[in-house]
Amino acid sequence: MSSVIFSGNSNQHLSKEISSILGLSLGKVEIIHFADSECRVRIQEDVEGKDVFIIQSLSNPVDEHLMELLLLADAVKRGEPRKITAVLPYYGYARQDRIHRHGECLSAQVVAKMIEVVGFDKLITVELHNEAILGFFKIPVIHISGLSVFLEAVNDLKDVVVVTPDAGALKRAQNFSDDLNLPLALIEKKRDLDHPHKISSMKVVGDVAGKTAVIVDDVIVTGGTLVNAAFLLKQEGAKQVVALATHADFVGGADKILKESPVDKVWVTDTIHLPLKMHFSKLQIFPSASLIAAAIRKMIK
């Protein structure tokens, strides 16, 4: 059974790496954005009877990347493939995974519905903000943990305590600390829901004094969570703070605040393309292509 991989525009570099690991070339596709921001796509490959994979990270600008994904799916479906799989190295809208206040929408579920309604048969994704999102899908979902790429590097550090930056991320940090048999500390973080990105209070629970505190998170956006956590951890006596997150969906300025913060190292993966101008010396980007390629390989062999 032959397979074709198409890529949206969000992370062409990662798509190329994944397809090269699989020994496939990327399918030809034309994606045009008109002056009014509407998008038009056209696939230029025969997909009839084939297994098709569409790789697209739903990173900033998320709506543009989501729309490209949906239109690509429609174009592919019209070519009568055997099966079509969405490969989302980063699932945007995942943080809107529940109704926080009366009157809000359940955005992570709306995205799931859109993915299903355009005809995807399966989803492969990495490090969802909350595994509960899996329950929004009727189609099968392969959920890959991106944190495994950091295990070896963390194992090489001395006197480590794993830190969860908020209660919502506890299970992820717990699994990570269990994998390495390391102690765990928790930061209690409260957000100001009336002001996006604003944190109202933070408190450390656990012993971090004299240790290398490794904060484990799913995504960095403004960098606010990590920087505030790092200040607090250093105040509590941590000798080094390493912040690791699977996804780096940096907004403008995140690179600067992280660079100038008490965070000593920032480790992320390349599930989201980070332009060179956002790189800084404390930042290390770990490759994720082989994890994603392995999940695809299981489906095409």
Active site residues: 189
Q: Which is nearer to ligand R5P, 87 or 245 (CB)?
A: 245
Give me the 148-177 binding string for ligand R5P, x by CB under 6 A, dash otherwise. -----------------xx-xx--------
Check if the beta carbon of residue 171 is closer than 8 Å to that of residue 179.
no
125: helix, strand or coil: strand
Q: Which is nearer to ligand R5P, 19 or 57 (CB)?
A: 57
In the complex, what is the shortest distance from the CB of residue 87 to ligand R5P, in angstroms, rounded to a whole number? Answer: 22
Measured distance CA(200)–CA(180) in Å, rounded: 32
Return the residue of 17, 68, 218, 255 that touches ligand R5P, per CB under 6 A: 218
In the complex, what is the shortest distance from the CB of residue 276 to ligand R5P, in angstroms, rounded to a whole number? Answer: 20
Q: Per the omega criterion (within 30 degrees of 0), is the bond before 61 cis?
A: yes
Check if the beta carbon of residue 224 is closer than 8 Å to that of residue 199.
yes
Residue type, 245: A
Rg of the chain over all Cα atoms, to the nearest angstrom: 20
Sign of the Cα torsion 28, 22, 172, 109 reads positive
Measured distance CA(112)–CA(222) in Å, rounded: 25
Sign of the Cα torsion 74, 65, 34, 32 reads negative
- DSSP H/E element including 154: helix 151-155
Count other C-beta atoms under 10 Å from residue 180's C-beta. 15
Q: Which is nearer to ligand R5P, 4 or 213 (CB)?
A: 213
Q: Does 217 help bind ligand R5P (rule: CB under 6 A)?
A: yes
Return the residue of 43, 182, 213, 219 that touches ligand R5P, per CB under 6 A: 219
Give me the 65-104 binding string for ligand R5P, x by CB under 6 A, dash otherwise. ------------------------------x---------
Q: Which is nearer to ligand R5P, 45 or 264 (CB)?
A: 264
In the complex, what is the shortest distance from the CB of residue 96 to ligand R5P, in angstroms, rounded to a whole number? Answer: 11
In the complex, what is the shortest distance from the CB of residue 237 to ligand R5P, in angstroms, rounded to a whole number? Answer: 23
The window from 37-45, 53-61, 217-225, 260-268 that contacts ligand R5P (CB under 6 A) reads 217-225
The window from 60-68, 109-117, 154-162, 218-226 that contacts ligand R5P (CB under 6 A) reads 218-226
Residue type, 125: T
Q: Which is nearer to ligand R5P, 122 or 273 (CB)?
A: 273
In the complex, what is the shortest distance from the CB of residue 128 to ligand R5P, in angstroms, rounded to a whole number? Answer: 11
Check if the beta carbon of residue 45 is closer than 8 Å to that of residue 72.
no
**Residues 220-249 contacting ligand R5P, CB under 6 A:** 220-225
In the complex, what is the shortest distance from the CB of residue 149 to ligand R5P, in angstroms, rounded to a whole number? Answer: 18
Task: Give 143's strand partners.
Answer: 125
The window from 103-111, 203-211, 213-221, 282-290 that contacts ligand R5P (CB under 6 A) reads 213-221
β 141-144/122-126 pair status: parallel
Q: Which is nearer to ligand R5P, 51 or 218 (CB)?
A: 218
SS3 content of the chain, % helix, strand, coil (to 5): 35, 30, 40
Q: How far is CA 211 from CA 157, 206, 208, 236, in A?
A: 10, 12, 5, 10
Binding site for ligand R5P (CB under 6 A): 95, 129, 165-166, 168-169, 197, 217-225
